[in-house]
Chain A
Amino acid sequence: MSYRVGIDIGGTFTDFALLKGEQVILHKNLSTPADRSLGVMNGLQTLAEKEGLTLSDFLGQCDAIVHGTTVADNTLIEMNGAVTGLITTEGFRDEVEYRRGFKEDIWDVRLEPPKPITPRRRRLTVPERVLFDGSVHKALNEDAVREACRRLKKQNVESVAVSLLFSFVSPVHELRVAEILAEELPGVPVSLSHQVLPRSPEYDRTSTTVVNAYVAPRVTDYLEKLVSRLQEGGYRHQLMVMQASGGVMTKEYIEGSPIRVLASGPAGGVIGSAHVGGAKGFEHLLCVDMGGTSYDMSLVLNGAAPAVAGWNMHHRNLVGVPMVQVETLGAGGGSICHVKNGEVQVGPASAGSEPGPICYGKGGTQPTVTDALLMLGMLSVDAEFAGGSFSLSAEGVSEAFQAIANDMDAVVGVDYGPEDAAFDCWRLVNANMIQAVRRTTAGKGIDPKDMVMLAYGGNGPAFAAVHADALGIRKVLVPKASPTFSALGTLVAKPSIDEERSFTCSAQAPDLDKLKTLWQELGERAAKYFADANFSLDKVSANYQVNMRYRGQNWALTFDMHSAPGLDDLSFVDDSLGAKALAAFNERHMQEFGHVREGELPEIIGVRLKTTVDTPAPIVSQGFNATAVTATPPKTRRANLGEGFQPTPVFRGSDLVPGCVVTGPAIIAETFTTIVVYPGWTARVDDAGDYEMFRL
């Protein structure tokens, strides 16, 4: 038997998805924050036992272990990365501090600055200058580089970022600086901007490179520790690591640019969604993941979750590498409900998991969204919660909402009790989340009503259908595996390399030789890493893309020019390429912006190559072949699903088999989540045991 294991480490749980032939086995165990690799090994040990094997035999039979890690995110959250220095072009010392003028809140003059990764004393400049065409305007002053090294050494720098102007056009100076750094600061890792993010402009590239340098030692140390434990345990293949782009790649590739693992956890969930949705015949998905502290939204379009490179702000730092776009709203089960200035508000403060909502009974005193669900009867003290790890308690919940009602009495001026307050909190958090979805979709010119919603995370299925209603969506999917979706996603994600190169030329008469050379270079890089990872190159498929915009536009549109198996088919780079690119650009510009300019032609500003390797993924069943059965609820309870309190049927998820139909209003209590079937909605269980809810 050969196995593939997907692993995702979260704050509380480490999730596992084991692919065994066509079967997927799910598992969760507690994370081990002090050394997270231990939690991974504990889970693998359990999976081995379930298979009746020793750990060594089990790992020996694993073809692939694919891993999503939060180590880079945690480094930025806790700001405990490497002591980092920056060497940059003379005159450009302060770009990362300026942030192109950006501030997160234009109305709040008391907003604190972000903690700098490279304070000014560790941002050093050297005389040198390359121009936009790659020519050297001023030679690199090597003595200045050596002096910068001396000063960085004096400050005990552990990692160095190098970002010189136009290095993405000609890296000659950056490469020489790296050589000198190796001589002067041996053993100190160096991040070169033309390797981390080979494109303009300078702030985007420099910030990304600085973050890379900051997280690199932590990510590398962690991965090396995990690889060592896995090898000791008997695993014989390369560890594959999830990237924010939605693909996975080897540890060796990741170590060249560790920033690529930042935000890779949510990306795994989106990739899992695309896989499940696609298998069930839905190509356009709105994916919503609601956990304890956040509501993550993402889009799957034409069966894929597009990774976008650009203005990705993470933990107040710009990270420009391609990322599956996941928008996060600070609204989750732990979001605190309160009254401020005569308004009921929900969040952004969260009770987290410790002490958590009042109903967790762990000392929480502030009412949360989860408490509101309990007040409204969507959750119950009678049922087990979070996989049976504990039960909820109603003690103190009603009183907390009564306090909100008291605060609102003067404003509302009518009889307003705790259930009213809980209901308004529920309405508000819904409204916040719906607006966030609208921003995510309409900002990209997408109407959500044309999509299917896929809900996961502990709280997502409790809200999904009511959000769908407001957004005009008529179908919601809730996979049985939704609580471990990110782990499933790492298993689904393909080994992939997605890189780009900047080059500006006319679209009407493009420099075909240069474009071909750039795509060839990207292809050769991908081939090297895939070959090193023992992937057969005939299983690689390539997606050749161009970035285009009207002269002066600040944002480029990216679209496919050619897709082909292998890495050597550049036959599409011929005299027709310009015309095809123009036609594709016009179509996209019309689609996104509602107009095409008369009398203006766009320009090509770069090429991109996305390469992926086909690997086995879990097979997802679809269809409704089982005979439809109207399920009978074992009980009812008083609940308000938006239309006032009424006796509401409550089903156990474990009782519902393929073919079962549940008509709303109803509540389905699953092992790790609660699914609410709102009035007007019906849920049915498909052949795979997944839920599909639809609007009547």
Chain B
Amino acid sequence: MSFELNKRLAARRDPLPTAAEVDPVTASIIRGALETVCFEAATHLGRAASSPIINQSNERNASIIDANGRLALGSIGTPHLTFVTQLTVRYGLENLDDYDWGPGDVFLGNDPDYGGGHLPDYNVYAPVYDDHGELVLVQALQAHQGDTGGKDPGGFTLEATDIFTEGLAIPCVKLVHRGEKRKDIIKLIERNNRFATFSGDLAAMISGVQMSVRLLQEIIRKWGTDVVKAAVNYNIEHTEARFREEVANWPDGTHEATVFIDHDTQGTKDIKVHLSCDIKGDQLTVDLTGTDDRQELVGVWNTFGNSRGYIMTQLAAMVDPAIIKNEGLFNAVDIIIPENCIAHPPPNKPAALGSFHPACEITEAVCVALSELVPGRAAPQVYKIGMPNAVIGFDQHGMWMDQGVDARSMDVSAVQGIDGWGSCPAALGNLLLSQAEDAESRFPIINLSREMTTDAGGAGQWRGQPGSLNVKQVLEPTSAMAWMVSAAHPLRGMCGGDDGSSYTNHFEVGTPNEYQIDLAVSAQLPANAVIAYQHGGGAGFGPACLRDPEAVKEDVLDEYVSLGAARDKYGVVLTGTLEEYDLEVDFVATTKLREAMKAAITKHKSAETARGAGQ
């Protein structure tokens, strides 16, 4: 529980000792087998669990770690979990004698100070031994739980100043000993959780890893321990080499970015994430020096494990997507995160909200820094959502939560050549967002609207997807919690594209008591109260005045863009009306307007340059 521990957990690990050599094809075949096991574990959990955040928003991930603690394979799930999971396992591995590891065991860890992300992300993992008793692999299955037993239902406490306020922190505990469930421990953990279906979710995680262990043992038996170890080594080395190849194609130099969070949960403004990406040959160094380290900040502390994981999430999106996701990525990148900053907090800091912010700003900053080098892949893999409206109530079954994973559109930025599309950035593409008909059958709510808002996408040569306005009515008194950011500092546009639109949030809409949440709220909503959450839009790429005028016309017909914005943002003049579907581009007027806009921009830039020179 110290910076020293973080250093040890993050340190590069040796390859697995093996006498075998493996050819590339065999290594690829074994990798495929491991990937299939991960797929099966994640599928098992998604089908068996009850919590919507696991089985609908799919916040779960299966990974295989090797006996040295290296990520051998991260598979289906969310990248934001894939790249964190191995540090919790490494803590267990460091202390395997103390925890009496053996065949048939299953462990659980979630402690942010022992390699974890935040408390809700339970990491259930199980060692895989060969027939001679040698530890070869570890199957990990991570999933976000609906509650963690802290002060507030759901595990997010806006004013928390320590981890203990947020719930039960578990560095490592054994759930199953040599194949037998430890009922005393499981009962203890279940007792510290308000969520009505938690015990079923935990049972699904345990049975998921147990199934995977059996499959991995079969693979080890089939190929032999040494060959499997050699294949893991080969694949990690291959990934490192492939990533380095991509970096080597980028010109040497240092690229910096600064991204701000509007405020912490108590209103302290402009929380800064600063990073630099330094490229020398095939070596990339990401350095977060300069990031905010004010110790009095509240709610914006992202664990060390999470920070390095979120850096990798963005980097993986900016290279060939076929590169296999494993420890080789971390071996290829030097990551510097200064102690005591918000991306590497001192022990016992709260961690729940940090997984939203600054975690996403770290990701965004990586994207901004590298956007000029990799414009074709410069889309931030973020959710700039603050803490989305968590509507929480209790019924005869226990706690329920409609936690804002509704179908929606948010933060889908354009990249060079492709407009933002769909609901979320690609990294969140394994989600199956919640549906009104399912939610309303279970919870006392009515979803009134969730459509995209015209002009709520950043303008650009390629346009950001508009954000959606999700409006819902609660039919019974409930509590609702939210933390709003990304209004003053919305998602950044790339390479001259406009920023995404801001997030806004209103409670008790349409009543004399209606109010906008600018900072944070933990409210009691009366029956029939309406809440309206405007998601931020994706950012644009490239200057809007370079967008094909015909594409702008199509956007207006589809009401992504208004007639006014077509003129004011894009410099496109249209004739006809939307009602009659007879819009046409007036090319002469458009050319004239765009020339005037460009002249104005040039004049503005010249004035700024002159001011800068004068200073």
What residues of chain A have their CB less than 8 Å away from a CB belonging to chain B? 90-95, 97-113, 119-121, 125, 129, 131-132, 137, 151, 154-155, 165-166, 200-203, 311, 340-344, 408, 411-412, 424, 427-428, 431-432, 435, 438-439, 442-443, 504, 550-555, 589, 592-595, 597-600
A340 to B320, CA, bound (A): 11
A sample of 18 cross-chain residue pairs with beta-carbon separation below 8 angstroms, ordered by A number, consists of A91-B451, A92-B450, A97-B423, A98-B409, A100-B431, A101-B422, A103-B426, A106-B78, A109-B317, A111-B426, A120-B452, A200-B435, A341-B320, A341-B322, A431-B25, A431-B32, A553-B55, A595-B206
Check A551 against B40 for contact (C-beta < 8 Å). Answer: no
A424 to B25, CA, bound (A): 7
Closest residue of A by beta carbon distance from B203: A595
Q: Which chain B positions have C-beta within 8 A of A203?
A: 407, 435
A129 to B422, CA, bound (A): 25
Check B197 against A91 for contact (C-beta < 8 Å). Answer: no
Check B32 against A432 for contact (C-beta < 8 Å). Answer: yes
A593 to B206, CA, bound (A): 10
Check B422 against A98 for contact (C-beta < 8 Å). Answer: yes
Check B442 against A593 for contact (C-beta < 8 Å). Answer: no
Check A101 against B451 for contact (C-beta < 8 Å). Answer: no
Asked if A595 meets B39 with Cβ closer than 8 Å, knowing A203-B435, A552-B51, the reply is no
Q: Which chain A positions have C-beta within 8 A of B432?
A: 100-102, 311, 554
Check A431 against B559 for contact (C-beta < 8 Å). Answer: no
Interface string of B567-593 (1 = CB under 8 A from A): 000000000000111000000000000
Q: Which chain A positions have C-beta within 8 A of B609?
A: none
Closest residue of A by beta carbon distance from B43: A443
Q: Which chain A positions have C-beta within 8 A of B321?
A: 105, 107-110
The number of A-B residue pairs with CB atoms under 8 Å apart is: 242
Q: How far is the CB of A89 from chain B (nearest CB, A)?
A: 9
Check A137 against B422 for contact (C-beta < 8 Å). Answer: no
B126 at the binding interface (Cβ < 8 Å): no
Q: How many residues of B contact A (CB 8 A)?
A: 95
Interface string of B301-338 (1 = CB under 8 A from A): 00000000000000011101110010000000000000
A107 to B377, CA, bound (A): 10
Partner of A132, one of B48, B200, B437: B437
Asked if A439 meets B446 with Cβ closer than 8 Å, knowing A101-B431, A594-B211, the reply is no
Check A555 against B55 for contact (C-beta < 8 Å). Answer: yes
Check A107 against B581 for contact (C-beta < 8 Å). Answer: no
B245 at the binding interface (Cβ < 8 Å): yes
Check B425 against A107 for contact (C-beta < 8 Å). Answer: no
Q: Which chain A positions have C-beta within 8 A of B596?
A: none
Q: How far is the CB of B226 from chain A (nearest CB, A)?
A: 19
Partner of A552, one of B55, B433, B450: B55
Check B48 against A105 for contact (C-beta < 8 Å). Answer: no
Check B447 against A109 for contact (C-beta < 8 Å). Answer: no
Closest residue of B by beta carbon distance from A596: B203
B44 at the binding interface (Cβ < 8 Å): yes
Check B207 against A110 for contact (C-beta < 8 Å). Answer: no
Q: Which chain A positions have C-beta within 8 A of B241?
A: 342
B79 at the binding interface (Cβ < 8 Å): yes
Check B437 against A201 for contact (C-beta < 8 Å). Answer: yes
Q: How far is the CB of A415 from chain B (nearest CB, A)?
A: 13
Asked if A120 meets B441 with Cβ closer than 8 Å, knowing A93-B451, A443-B43, A600-B200, the reply is no
Q: Which chain A positions have C-beta within 8 A of B203?
A: 595, 597
Check A442 against B437 for contact (C-beta < 8 Å). Answer: no
Q: Which chain B positions have C-beta within 8 A of A412?
A: 23-24
Q: Which chain B positions have C-beta within 8 A of A113?
A: 418-419, 421-422
Check B36 against A438 for contact (C-beta < 8 Å). Answer: yes
Check A120 against B377 for contact (C-beta < 8 Å). Answer: no
Q: Which of B410-453 contact A (CB under 8 A)?
A: 415, 417-419, 421-433, 435-438, 440-442, 446-452
A340 to B321, CA, bound (A): 13
Q: Which chain A positions have C-beta within 8 A of B320?
A: 341
B199 at the binding interface (Cβ < 8 Å): yes
Check A101 against B446 for contact (C-beta < 8 Å). Answer: no
Check A552 against B442 for contact (C-beta < 8 Å). Answer: yes
Check A107 against B46 for contact (C-beta < 8 Å). Answer: no
Q: When A and B form their complex, which 6 residue pairs have the shortest distance between CB atoms, in order from nearest?
A: A103-B429, A552-B50, A91-B449, A201-B435, A101-B431, A113-B421
A94 to B39, CA, bound (A): 30
A155 to B419, CA, bound (A): 24
Closest residue of B by beta carbon distance from A108: B321
Q: Which chain A positions have C-beta within 8 A of B415?
A: 109-110
Check A595 against B207 for contact (C-beta < 8 Å). Answer: yes
B122 at the binding interface (Cβ < 8 Å): no
Interface string of B54-70 (1 = CB under 8 A from A): 01110000000000000
Q: Which chain A positions have C-beta within 8 A of B325?
A: 107
Q: Which chain B positions have C-beta within 8 A of A431?
A: 25, 28-29, 32
A424 to B24, CA, bound (A): 10
B272 at the binding interface (Cβ < 8 Å): no
Q: How far is the CB of A143 from chain B (nearest CB, A)?
A: 15
Check A555 against B47 for contact (C-beta < 8 Å). Answer: yes
A154 to B48, CA, bound (A): 48
Closest residue of B by beta carbon distance from A470: B222
Check B418 against A202 for contact (C-beta < 8 Å). Answer: no
A98 to B471, CA, bound (A): 16
Q: Which chain B positions have C-beta within 8 A of A552?
A: 49-52, 55, 196-197, 200, 442
Check B447 against A107 for contact (C-beta < 8 Å). Answer: no
Task: Add 17 more A-B contacts to A109-B318, A555-B46 (CB < 8 A).
Answer: A91-B449, A94-B409, A98-B407, A98-B423, A101-B57, A101-B433, A104-B429, A106-B426, A107-B317, A108-B321, A109-B425, A110-B377, A111-B426, A201-B436, A343-B28, A442-B215, A551-B196
B501 at the binding interface (Cβ < 8 Å): no
B557 at the binding interface (Cβ < 8 Å): yes
Partner of B199, one of A343, A439, A442, A598: A598
Check B418 against A110 for contact (C-beta < 8 Å). Answer: yes
Q: Which chain A positions have C-beta within 8 A of B55?
A: 552-555
Check A341 against B245 for contact (C-beta < 8 Å). Answer: yes
Q: How far is the CB of A685 from chain B (nearest CB, A)?
A: 32
Check B560 against A101 for contact (C-beta < 8 Å). Answer: no
Q: How far is the CB of B144 from chain A (nearest CB, A)?
A: 14
Q: Which chain B positions have C-beta within 8 A of A151?
A: 579, 581
Partner of B451, one of A92, A201, A443, A594: A92
Q: How far is the CB of A125 from chain B (nearest CB, A)?
A: 8
Q: How far is the CB of A169 from chain B (nearest CB, A)?
A: 9
A340 to B440, CA, bound (A): 49
Check B24 against A411 for contact (C-beta < 8 Å). Answer: yes
A155 to B43, CA, bound (A): 42
Q: How far is the CB of B458 from chain A (nearest CB, A)?
A: 16
Partner of B581, one of A104, A154, A202, A411: A154
Asked if A550 meets B50 with Cβ closer than 8 Å, knowing A121-B559, A200-B437, A412-B23, the reply is yes
A427 to B27, CA, bound (A): 12
A555 to B242, CA, bound (A): 39
Q: Which chain B positions have C-beta within 8 A of A90?
A: 449
Check B581 against A103 for contact (C-beta < 8 Å). Answer: no
Asked if A101 meets B437 with Cβ closer than 8 Å, knowing A107-B325, A597-B200, the reply is no
Q: How far is the CB of B80 from chain A (nearest CB, A)?
A: 11
Q: Which chain B positions have C-beta within 8 A of A200?
A: 435, 437-438, 441
Check A98 against B441 for contact (C-beta < 8 Å). Answer: no
B558 at the binding interface (Cβ < 8 Å): yes
Q: Which chain A positions have C-beta within 8 A of B452?
A: 93-94, 97, 120
Asked if A119 meets B449 with Cβ closer than 8 Å, knowing A100-B435, A504-B441, the reply is no
Q: How far is the CB of A87 from chain B (nearest CB, A)?
A: 14
Q: Which chain A positions have C-beta within 8 A of B49?
A: 552-553
Asked if A202 meets B25 with Cβ closer than 8 Å, knowing A91-B448, A91-B450, A106-B429, the reply is no
Q: Which chain A positions have C-beta within 8 A of B245?
A: 341
Closest residue of A by beta carbon distance from B425: A109
Q: How far is the CB of A597 from chain B (nearest CB, A)?
A: 4
Q: Which chain B positions have C-beta within 8 A of A408?
A: 24
B204 at the binding interface (Cβ < 8 Å): yes
A592 to B52, CA, bound (A): 20
Q: Which chain B positions have C-beta within 8 A of A109?
A: 317-318, 321, 377, 379, 381, 415, 425-426
